[in-house]
């Protein structure tokens, strides 16, 4: 992303909405917004493979469920460029390979740091975990608040959206899916 070009566009936007981009409080805003936007959409320059970076480890005796809960997720909705944020819960059953635990959060960040919709983001995370590990099954549940729903339009401040993606045994076996959900807060597991 061209930082200077983006800053010029932000300056034009400030003029368009009737602001003075030269006033004290806004003088450096175009550059700050350009830098913030570059950070918020850094996922376009990443791939799941690059963030996993080879941190897949042999674990021949691991056919039990691995769950990482409450991964903070921040993204921008592609419809209004407004933030949505919440938590992502990821579970998988390895087939001899496990991911370094931080890599699950990095996979979530890789896809969240793009213009998104929560439904697609949930599936992208699930497929990336499956592809990285060859897991028997993968489950992802996301719970997010959407500022485009809270600040504009319907203006429902307490609404949250929950999405899930289940692959392999998490899809095919109701007991596996139920075990995963029982480990999550609000789905039968421990609360926050």
Which CATH number goes with the domain that contains 101? 3.30.1130.10
Alpha carbons 6 and 31: distance in angstroms, whole number:
8
Report the b/e string of 112-145 with b at 16+ CB within 10 A.
bbbebebeebbbbbbbbbbebbebbbbbbbbbbb
The reply to whether 148 belongs to the active site is: yes
Confidence at residue 131, expressed as pLDDT on a 0 to 100 scale: 97
Catalytic residue among 19, 145, 148, 171: 148
**Distance in angstroms (rounded) separating the CA atoms of residues 34 and 32:** 5
Domain that holds residue 28: 3-40
Q: Is 118 a catalytic residue?
A: yes
User: What is the token pair recorded at 18?
Assistant: 């009737």
Three-point CA angle 168, 68, 85, nearest 5°: 100
- Please give the pLDDT value at position 156: 87
The pLDDT confidence band at residue 191, using thresholds 50, 70 and 90, is low
Cα dist. 166→5, 78, 120, 175 in Å? 41, 24, 13, 13
Nearest alpha carbon to residue 29 among 16, 11, 2? 11
**Looking at the 3D structure of the chain, how many domains does it have?**
2
Q: What is the pTM of this model?
A: 0.93
Would residue 77 show up in a list of annotated catalytic residues for this protein?
A: yes
**28-37 confidence digits (pLDDT tens):** 999 999 999 9
Q: Do 19 and 85 fall within a single domain? A: no
Answer yes or no: do 25 and 57 share one domain: no
Mean pLDDT for the stretch of residues 164-173: 97
Active-site entry in 118, 136, 144, 150: 118
Q: Indicate whether 9 and 53 sit together in one domain.
A: no
**Has 146 been annotated as catalytic?**
yes
Q: Is 74 exposed, middle or buried (0-12, 13-18, 19+ CB in 10 A)?
A: middle
Sheet holding 137-146, edge to edge: 115-116, 66-77, 83-93, 137-146, 161-168
Whether residue 89 is found in the same domain as residue 168: yes
Residues 53, 10 share a domain: no
Is the CA virtual torsion 95, 97, 98, 99 positive or negative? negative
> Is 190 a residue whose pLDDT tops 60?
no
């Amino acid at each position: 992303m061209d930082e200077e070009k983006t800053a010029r566009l932000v300056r034009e936007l400030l003029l368009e909405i009737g602001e003075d981009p030269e006033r004290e409080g806004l003088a450096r805003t175009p550059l700050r917004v350009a830098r913030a936007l570059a950070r918020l959409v850094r996922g376009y320059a990443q791939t799941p493979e690059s963030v996993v970076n080879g941190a897949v480890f042999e674990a021949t005796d691991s056919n039990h469920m691995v769950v990482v809960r409450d991964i903070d997720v921040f993204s921008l909705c592609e419809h209004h460029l407004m933030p949505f944020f919440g938590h992502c819960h990821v579970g998988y059953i390895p087939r001899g390979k496990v991911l370094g635990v931080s890599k699950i959060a990095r996979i979530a960040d890789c896809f969240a740091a793009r213009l998104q919709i929560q439904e697609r983001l949930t599936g992208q995370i699930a497929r990336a975990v499956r592809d990285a590990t060859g897991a028997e099954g993968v489950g992802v549940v996301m719970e997010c608040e959407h500022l485009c729903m809270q600040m504009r339009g319907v203006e429902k401040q307490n609404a949250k959206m929950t999405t899930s993606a289940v692959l392999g045994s998490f899809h095919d076996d109701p007991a596996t899916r139920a075990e995963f959900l029982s480990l999550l807060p609000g789905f039968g597991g421990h609360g926050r």
